[in-house]
Amino acid sequence: MDALIDVRSLCFRYDDGTVALDGVDFQLYPGETVAIFGANGSGKTTFVLHLNGLLMGGGAITICGNAVNKQNLSRVREKVGVVFQDSEMQLFMPTVLEDVAFGPLNLGLSREEASERALEALKQVGMSGCAARAPYHLSAGEKKRVAVAGILAMRPEILVLDEPTTFLDPPGQRSLIELFESLPQAKILVTHDVECARALAHRAVFFEKGRIRGEGSVEDIVARFNWDRTVIRRPTSSRH
Amino acid sequence: MHHVVLDRWGCGLSPVHRRDPRAKMLAALIFLVALATSHQSYLAVSAVYFALLVTAIFAAGLPPAAVLRRAALVLPFSLVFAAMSVASGDTTRAISLVVKSYLSALVVLVLVSTTPLPQLLGGLERTAVPRFLLLVVQFLYRYLFVISEEAQHMRAAAAAKGGSMGRVISRRRHFGAAAGAVGVLFARSYARAEAIHLAMLARGFAGHFRPLAKSSFRKLDAAFLAGAVAAIVLLRAAIEAWT
Ligand SMILES: Nc1ncnc2c1ncn2[C@@H]1O[C@H](COP(=O)(O)OP(=O)(O)O)[C@@H](O)[C@H]1O
Ligand SMILES: [Mg+2]
């Protein structure tokens, strides 16, 4: 089976000299969800920014058979939908509907098609009632859903979710996980949230200092890198 | 609340908000030209134009006091030039400068507070305005609302630590701290504006705002434009004929 995303020897250094990616090889196959774990600063977001050509480093990336380069940018951005960590930065239009229609309009769809797609995407994320509202009046969970709708309206084949559950309360996290479960696309899920990865991911990779240090099932990776916040309490006699 | 007030005003649904951005821009442009070129009876013309703008503000449902106050932001600049005119013995010119600059600021403010920026830019794109200029305006827009938001966050953070930005900045011995805060503000705002730009690119943005709302120029827009132009031109002509 051909990989949807094929990354070979990806390297990237920021202008200030920070080496953020140092030889990453990665594949995503149709229908699967891969969790990306790793400490803060290990290069996860930098990696994500390469998947739709927002950053371009050394090495090679192929998305659904298209090399990521200047000529293919619009095709690649149509295939890979990235939901960024901070939804505040994804919502910039005056109303929710206009915001969600922003991507489809950029794809060259007519106003009618764009607004149809936007309404459909809003329905998919359970936000139909908010089409006419201003995005900055929404709660964090609602903003995230609208940001996801803005991506879904472009009908991408691949969803990349960068720490999607971060700013949400537990019920908000749960319902977002349920939403992602219901979406058929192949997904890359960058997260610190092991529960979220357990619920959604078929396998996981572990980033460290710009490289992939391990690959396996979510449980394998969590055990191997001690990637869990459960505190093991030693029994003490003096406590009551 | 965490947003630039213009953006909030721009989202209204009044008849003025609903007019085609091109009709409003053209009316504002004619207003500016008529104002700038009125000489002998400019004071009477200005008074009548002021009344026109106040009518527009009420029709648009904008908060009048807040709008009038915001337009006064240009006054410090025009007062400097006015002072130079007074110094060279030309008081009439000084007064005319102040009055005209205030009214010009007010008409532009009414325009932008009744037209969401993406719509305004969409309207501008279909005129002869150079694309480079549009990109600059887009960037400023992103940047401005981000700065105001970051400033609010920082003010909240300062308050949480028992300080206040105002107090920090007003005390001279804290000037260093204030300058530092402003530096941080700009650095953070820049980073955020960049992040927003990336998010726009990720959704296929290629430099054009394509508004969702159909801005076909309707009969109502033509009527609005005709009415506005007639008021602007005829009122001035009437005043000039009369004096
Ligand atoms: N714009 C930038 N300029 C310079 N260095 C950066 C920039 N963004 C991230 N970095 C650095 O690159 C490394 C990887 O960052 P990032 O990809 O954001 O990590 P993660 O998402 O895993 O937390 C970090 O050392 C970070 O400090
Ligand atoms: Mg990150």
Helices B21-36/B91-113 angle, 10° precision: 180
CB under 8 A, 24+ apart: contacts of A102-105: A102/A150, A102/B200, A102/B203, A102/B205, A103/A150, A103/A151, A103/A153, A103/A154, A103/B203, A103/B204, A104/A153, A104/A154, A105/B210, A105/B212
What's the pLDDT at B2? Answer: 37
Task: Calculate Rg over the CA atoms of chain B.
Answer: 21
Tally DSSP H helices, then E strands, for chain B.
Answer: 12, 0
| Candidate from A117-121, B101-105, B118-122 with smallest mean pLDDT | B118-122
Q: State how many domains chain A has.
A: 1
Residue A111 to residue B116, Cβ atoms within 8 A = no
Q: Taking CB atoms and an 8 Å limit, are B195 and A105 in contact across chains?
A: no
Collect all residues of chain B within an 8 Å Cβ-Cβ radius of residue A94. 7, 10-11, 116, 118
CB-based burial label for B19 (10 Å; 0-12, 13-18, 19+) = buried
Q: Does B200 touch chain A (CB under 8 A)?
A: yes
pLDDT digits (tens, 9 = 90+) for B213-232: 766 788 999 999 999 999 99
Question: Which residues of chain A make contact with B204, given a CB cutoff of 8 A?
Answer: 74, 77-78, 103, 106-107, 154
Residue A186 lies in a domain: yes
Q: Which two tokens stand for residue B162?
A: 């028992």
User: Which residue from A minimizes the CA distance to B12?
Assistant: A94
Residue A219 is assigned to a structural domain of this protein: yes
pLDDT at B230: 95
pTM more than 0.80 = no
* Inside any domain, residue A25: no
- CB contact under 8 Å between A134 and B192, yes or no, is no
> Is residue A65 helix, strand or coil?
coil
Alpha carbon distance A175, B238 (integer Å): 66
Q: Spell out a b/e string for B201-210, using b for 16 or more CB atoms within 10 Å of the CB, else e.
A: bbbbbeeebb
| Ligand 1 binding pocket includes A210 (Cβ within 6 Å) | no
Q: Is residue A212 one of the residues assigned to a domain?
A: yes
Residue among B196, B212, B216 with most chain A CBs within 10 A, to mutate: B212
Residue closest via CA to ligand 1's atom 6 equals A14
Domain annotation covers residue A67 = no
Q: Is residue A6 situated within a structural domain?
A: no
Query: In this predicted model, what pLDDT tens digit does every residue of A157-192 receive, in sequence order?
Result: 999 999 999 888 999 899 999 999 999 999 999 999
Residue A67, strand partner residues: A62
The answer to which of A43-52, A113-122, B25-34, B116-125 has the lowest mean pLDDT is B116-125
Domain locations along chain B: 2-125+214-242, 130-202
Portion 66-105 of B in contact with A at CB < 8 A: none
Nearest to B28 by CA among B96, B95, B137, B127: B127
